[in-house]
Every structure is written in structure tokens, then in C-alpha cells.
């Protein structure tokens, strides 16, 4: 419902417009005052629809308090576009262009919005020539953010806020060595040319160092471009790709970030905004963005998005309490129009293999590196490790099996009495090779990394458990950080690496070594950790809300007038 604002709300709105997240370009402060006086107020509860995609309305909104969420709801599943916190305009596209609404906007917390109609918006555009460009740039910025190319492991419920790399100044530093080789080659060629050396010798002496300098320069340039620093509405992520040596990834949830430090260097670094940015987290270690451009803007983005993430969590907790009290008192609450920020833990079976199931012995013999059973995922070491363990027994088995078949089918009868003995020998040798293969294969299978909905399990076993088995288990409660590493060129070529899960105690660190596609393993473990911790937090909130519901329910019952019979 839209209503007139009070005098206090007018002062609040004027103050918020002056401190808008994207400063309003007006030369006269009176314009902001007049703009505020033209506004009306709309109070919305969590779950209320503010704007519906496709409708032809032209109101301009300004978030005074609370937080809104925009999503493209034209498809089968909503696509999250943006979050809008306090002191920001929302819905500028339709009054600016006259087109239908391009997104659905709902409230994810109780919010207070200032509202202007089309006439007031047109009046604002007439007050200053810069206002139209201001709203066009604002809309274009949001469109650019919504279309930003997804990164590996991007989750459906997060928005990419900034995605940048190292400053060009770091590239200049890496080009010094190639430049030295280039100068050396050219100087050597010039010297040989002066002293009358042959053209071939001059070409070789100058060309080899120059070619090496160009190659080294290209490699350094690719390596410089391969590093990414990403800030989303949920996480801070550092992806470090090493040319020919693999890649590493480190990340931290925004709600765990405690401080961000920018290392200030010399005058040139200060002028060009080229700094090292270190993110300190609560118990999850530090993440360092080295040679970062626009470091201050990235720092501001981190704190701004962290504030939004905390507000969304608090709004979710408040909604839990509200639903509990509403059920106790027999009333209803609005539901959110777009799914909550939860993760879909439905197992992805797309890479389980060509055959969806393996009966009996075949299931045992096929070297699958990823197995899904209900809510449990089991990873085993990469097939390269399997091949390293079994290749010689497998080769011997195949050779002996082939010789046995040849002996049975084609060994001439002229061999006489020796023929049965040869066949028996080959059959026994084949069985021995098969047993040896099973021993090596079973040893590979016994090393397993298992993740359930609430636990991490690292099993280190020996073949057929003849040498025992060690099984370590941990809960997602204690997990503080999860990283993965692809250490070298060969590992990068076959997509093999390690996933490290750090817990509260360093001795309890879990390491999933030599797994296939460590990026996917990392993301699956992160998803389950986040889902578990969110589930645990919501259970605690439900318990607290239930207790509050009982208290307030008793109070509500006591306030009811007593009825007496006639």
C-alpha cells in the first residue's frame, strides 16, 4: 500500500538521497529536497512483489531500508539478476524507456520504499541535463552485471559483483627478463655484423635470443591474464592459473570476512591504484589478491556485499520467527516469490558413465572414480593412479589370456601329451595374473573419499583389508576452508589434483589426493558444507522461534477475554 510520508520520513529520505550509493549528479541541493517532497511511501513485507516482470507500470523506487531482489522470471526457473540494498534506485528502466518491466522484484526483508510516478520522474529529468545519462548509466551497469560471464563453480543464487585481474604494471615487471634477452640478441647480432661475421651466424646469434624473448613474453602475458579475482554476492574468490603447471583456487564466504587490508606501495602504485589486497577471515585463513587494480573499489565492494549478505541472513532468521508465531496465532505470512538461497543437492549423474548401473562383479571391476548412492558421493583416485597400480598385472593378464585362447583353439595336436600341460600351465598363469590384478585393483578401490549430507570420510585401506584400514570422519561443523590444487602440467592435462579441507584442528585436515576433476569435487564439497551449515543454523533458529512462539502464544492466550456460559 502506498501512503503519504511523515515529516520524519521526509528528513530520512532527503538524507538518504544525499548519500545515495550512486551519487546523484545535481548542482543544487534544493532539487533533492523537491524530489523527496514529491515522493510517497510504500511499506513492503518480506515476500511481497514490488515489480512483476512484463507489467506496464512506470513507478521509480528508492530503497530507504531493507533489501530487494531482482530476477528474470520469464523462463522455467528464475535467474537471479541483482540485489538492491538501502540508498539505491530500483525500476528505472520502465519510466526511462516506456518498455514493460524487464524483471520481477520482490522484498527479501521488510523494506520501506520511496515511490515516484512518471510525472515526477519526468520532472527530475528536466531539472538537470545529467539526470538522463545518470539513469541510463545506472541501468546499463546493472545490465552489464547481469550478463557478466559466469566463472567455474558459479552458484545460481549469487551475483557476480566484480571480476578483475592483475594491474598492467605487474605485466611490465614480468616483461623485463624477455626484454633483456631481446636486447642481448640484437646487440650480439649488431656486434657480429660490425666485425664482418657471416649473415647466417648473425641471424642465428640475433634470432635465437630474440625468439626466446618473444616466447617468454607471450607465456608471461598469458600467465598474467590467467589470474582472476572475483567478488560475488556470497564469496570472495581467487583463481590462480599457472601456465603449464595447473591452477589453484581459494575462496571465503563474505559473512566470514573480518577485515580487508590494502598494502600501500610507492608513489606510482598509489597513483595507478596498484596494490596487494589481503582478506582476513574468521578462522579460514587469509586470501591475497596480488597486484590488484582498483583495489579500493574491490574493498568497498567486499564490505558492501558482506553487509547485504548479513542482512539477508538476518531477514531469513526473522522470517522463521514470524512464520512460527503466525502458525501459533493462526495467521498467515507472505511467501517469497523466488526460491530461498539454498543449494540443490540432487546428485548429478551426468558423468557417472555410459552404463548407469553395474551388476555384481562388473560393478566391482569397472574402475569408476565417482559413485553416487543416494545422498552419498564416493570419489576414488584418478584413473591414472589406477593405471599406475595395475598396468603390469593387467598387461600380463591380457597376454596370458590371449595365449590361453590361442592354445585352446589353435595349438596343434602334434604337440602330443604336452598340449594339455601347456594349456593347464597357461590357465593357472592366467588365474594367478587375475588374482594379482584383483589385488592391485582392490588396493586402488580401498582408498576412497566419501561425502554425505553431514560428514566427510577419508578411507585409506589395503587390498582386501589384509593390512587393515584407516577411516577418518569429520563433520561439516568444523570445516573452515576448502581449496583445491592442480600442481603441474601433466596433472592439468589429465585434470587431476587435490582438494584440501581445513578444519578447526590442523591435525584433522582432510586431503582428497589425486582425484579426477578437482574443481568439481571442490564445488560439491563446498555446496554440501554450505547447505549443512545453513540447515544447522535454520534448525537452531526454528528451535528458538518455537520457544518464542510458545512464550508469545501463552501471552496471546492470556490476553483473550474469558468466556463464561450463560
Domain assignment of residue 542, yes or no: no
Report which secondary-structure segment, H or E, holds 410.
Answer: helix 383-410
Q: How many helices (H) does the chain have, and how many strands (E)?
A: 15, 24
> Domain ends where: 300, 324, 348?
324
Residue 112 lies inside a defined structural domain of this protein: yes
Phi/psi-derived region of residue 468, left when phi > 0, alpha when psi is between -120 and 50, beta in every other case? left
Please tell me whether residues 288 and 392 are part of one structural domain: no
Compute the distance between CA of residue 255 and CA of residue 261 in angstroms, rounded to an integer: 17
* DSSP-assigned letter for residue 166: B
Q: Is residue 338 part of a domain?
A: no
Considering the domain architecture, whether residues 292 and 216 belong to the same structural domain is answered as: no
- DSSP label of 91: -
Same domain? For 365 and 513 the reply is yes
- Based on the fold, state whether residues 199 and 231 are members of the same structural domain: no
Q: What is the DSSP letter of 381?
A: B
The domain spanning residue 319 has which CATH number?
2.30.29.30
In a domain, 152, yes or no: no
* Shared-domain flag, residues 378 and 441: yes
Q: Could you give the number of structural domains in the chain?
A: 4
What is the CATH number for 82? 2.60.120.10
Domain boundary among 225, 245, 260: 225
493 and 412 share one domain: yes
Residues in the chain: 566
499-506 long-range Cβ contacts below 8 angstroms, 24+ apart:
499/525, 501/456, 501/474, 501/525, 502/284, 502/285, 503/474, 503/478, 503/479, 504/283, 504/478, 504/480, 505/478
| DSSP per residue, 264-276 | ---HHHHHHTEEE
The pairing of beta strand 79-84 with beta strand 68-72: antiparallel
Residue 265 backbone dihedrals phi, psi, to 5 degrees: -100, -140
User: Rounded distance, CA 77 to CA 80, Å?
Assistant: 10
Task: Kindly state whether residues 484 and 423 are assigned to the same domain.
Answer: yes
State the Cα–Cα distance between residues 19 and 65, nearest whole angstrom: 13
Shared-domain flag, residues 452 and 369: yes
- Do residue 21 and residue 45 come from a single domain? yes
Is residue 193 domain-shared with residue 209, that is, in the same domain? yes
Residue 97 lies in a domain: yes
CA angle 485, 491, 496 (to 5 degrees): 65
H or E element at residue 376: strand 376-380
Q: 210 lies in which domain range?
A: 169-225
Q: Measured between alpha carbons, how far apart are the two ends of the chain, in Å?
A: 43
Sign of the Cα torsion 444, 446, 452, 458 reads negative
- 365-374: string of b/e by CB count within 10 Å (b at 16+)? eebbbbbeee
Give residue 365's Cα distance to chain centre.
Answer: 35
Q: Mapping DSSP to helix (H, G, I), strand (E, B) and coil, where does residue 81 land?
A: strand
Q: Is residue 398 part of a domain?
A: yes
Is residue 246 included in any domain, yes or no?
A: yes
d(CA 262, CA 278) in angstroms, rounded, equals: 6
Are 419 and 447 in the same domain? yes
Asked if 234 and 210 sit in the same domain, the reply is no
Q: Is residue 135 part of a domain?
A: yes
Per-residue pLDDT of the chain (566 residues; tens, 9 = 90+): 799 999 999 999 999 999 998 899 988 899 999 999 999 999 998 889 999 999 999 999 999 999 999 988 888 878 888 899 999 999 999 999 999 999 999 999 899 999 999 999 999 999 988 999 999 999 988 887 766 677 777 777 788 888 888 888 888 878 888 999 899 988 988 888 888 888 888 888 888 988 999 998 888 888 888 888 999 998 898 888 776 656 777 888 888 888 999 887 667 677 777 788 888 876 556 788 888 878 888 899 899 999 998 888 888 777 777 777 777 666 666 555 555 544 333 334 334 433 444 456 677 888 888 888 888 999 999 999 999 999 999 999 999 999 988 888 877 765 667 778 888 899 999 999 999 999 999 999 999 999 998 889 999 999 988 888 999 988 888 887 788 888 888 888 888 999 998 887 645 689 999 998 888 888 788 878 877 877 887 777 777 777 776 776 666 677 766 544 44
Amino acid at each position: 500500500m502506498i501512503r503519504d510520508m511523515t515529516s520524519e520520513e521526509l528528513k530520512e529520505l532527503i538524507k538518504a538521497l544525499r548519500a545515495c550509493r550512486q551519487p546523484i549528479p545535481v548542482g543544487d541541493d534544493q532539487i533533492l529536497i523537491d524530489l523527496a517532497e514529491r515522493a510517497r511511501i510504500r511499506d513492503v513485507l518480506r515476500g511481497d512483489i514490488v515489480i512483476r516482470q512484463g507489467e506496464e507500470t512506470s513507478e521509480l523506487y528508492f530503497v530507504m531500508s531493507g533489501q530487494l531482489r531482482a530476477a528474470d522470471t520469464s523462463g522455467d526457473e528464475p535467474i537471479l539478476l541483482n540485489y538492491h540494498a538501502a540508498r539505491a534506485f530500483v525500476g528505472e528502466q520502465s519510466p526511462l524507456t516506456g518498455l514493460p518491466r524487464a524483471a520481477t522484484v520482490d522484498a527479501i526483508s521488510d523494506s520501506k520504499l520511496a515511490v515516484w510516478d512518471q510525472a515526477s520522474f519526468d520532472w527530475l529529468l528536466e531539472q538537470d541535463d545529467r539526470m538522463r545519462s545518470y539513469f541510463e548509466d545506472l541501468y546499463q551497469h546493472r545490465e552489464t552485471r547481469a550478463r557478466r560471464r559466469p566463472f567455474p563453480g558459479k552458484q545460481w543464487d549469487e551475483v557476480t559483483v566484480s571480476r578483475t585481474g592483475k594491474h598492467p604494471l605487474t605485466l611490465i615487471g614480468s616483461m623485463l627478463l624477455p626484454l633483456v634477452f631481446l636486447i642481448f640478441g640484437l646487440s650480439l647480432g649488431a656486434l657480429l655484423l660490425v666485425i664482418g661475421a657471416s649473415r647466417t651466424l648473425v641471424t642465428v646469434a640475433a634470432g635465437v635470443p630474440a625468439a626466446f624473448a618473444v616466447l617468454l613474453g607471450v607465456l608471461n602475458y598469458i600467465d598474467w591474464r590467467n589470474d582472476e579475482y572475483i567478488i560475488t554476492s556470497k564469496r570472495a574468490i581467487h583463481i590462480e592459473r599457472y601456465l603449464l603447471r595447473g591452477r589453484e583456487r581459494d575462496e571465503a564466504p563474505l559473512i566470514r570476512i573480518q577485515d580487508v587490508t590494502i598494502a600501500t606501495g610507492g608513489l606510482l602504485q598509489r597513483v595507478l591504484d596498484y596494490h596487494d589486497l589481503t582478506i582476513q577471515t574468521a578462522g579460514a585463513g587469509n586470501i591475497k589478491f596480488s597486484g590488484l587494480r582498483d583495489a579500493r573499489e574491490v574493498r568497498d565492494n567486499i564490505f558492501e556485499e558482506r553487509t547485504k549478505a548479513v542482512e539477508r541472513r538476518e531477514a531469513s532468521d526473522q522470517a522463521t520467527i514470524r512464520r512460527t508465531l503466525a502458525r501459533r496465532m493462526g495467521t498467515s505470512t507472505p511467501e517469497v516469490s523466488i526460491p530461498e538461497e539454498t543449494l540443490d543437492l540432487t546428485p548429478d549423474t551426468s558423468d557417472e558413465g555410459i552404463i548407469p548401473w553395474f551388476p555384481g562383479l562388473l560393478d566391482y571391476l569397472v574402475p569408476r572414480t565417482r559413485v553416487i548412492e543416494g545422498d552419498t558421493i564416493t570419489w576414488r583416485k584418478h584413473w591414472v593412479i589406477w593405471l599406475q597400480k595395475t598396468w603390469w598385472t593387467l598387461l600380463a593378464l591380457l597376454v596370458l589370456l590371449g595365449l590361453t585362447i590361442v592354445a585352446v583353439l589353435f595349438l596343434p595336436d602334434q604337440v602330443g601329451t604336452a598340449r594339455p600341460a601347456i594349456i593347464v600351465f597357461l590357465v593357472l598363469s592366467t588365474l594367478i595374473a587375475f588374482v594379482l590384478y584383483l589385488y592391485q585393483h582392490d588396493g586402488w578401490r580401498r582408498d576412497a573419499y566419501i561425502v554425505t549430507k553431514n560428514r566427510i570420510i577419508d578411507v585409506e585401506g589395503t587390498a582386501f583389508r589384509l593390512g587393515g584400514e584407516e577411516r577418518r570422519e569429520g563433520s561439516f561443523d568444523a570445516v573452515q576452508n576448502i581449496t583445491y590444487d592442480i600442481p603441474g602440467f601433466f596433472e592439468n592435462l589429465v585434470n587431476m589434483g587435490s582438494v584440501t579441507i581445513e578444519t578447526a584442528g590442523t591435525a584433522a585436515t582432510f586431503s582428497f589426493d589425486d582425484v579426477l576433476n578437482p574443481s568439481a569435487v571442490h564445488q560439491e564439497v563446498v555446496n554440501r558444507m554450505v547447505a549443512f551449515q545453513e540447515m544447522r543454523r535454520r534448525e537452531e533458529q526454528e528451535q528458538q522461534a518455537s520457544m518464542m512462539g510458545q512464550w508469545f502464544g501463552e501471552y496471546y492466550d492470556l490476553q483473550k477475554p474469558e468466556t463464561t456460559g450463560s
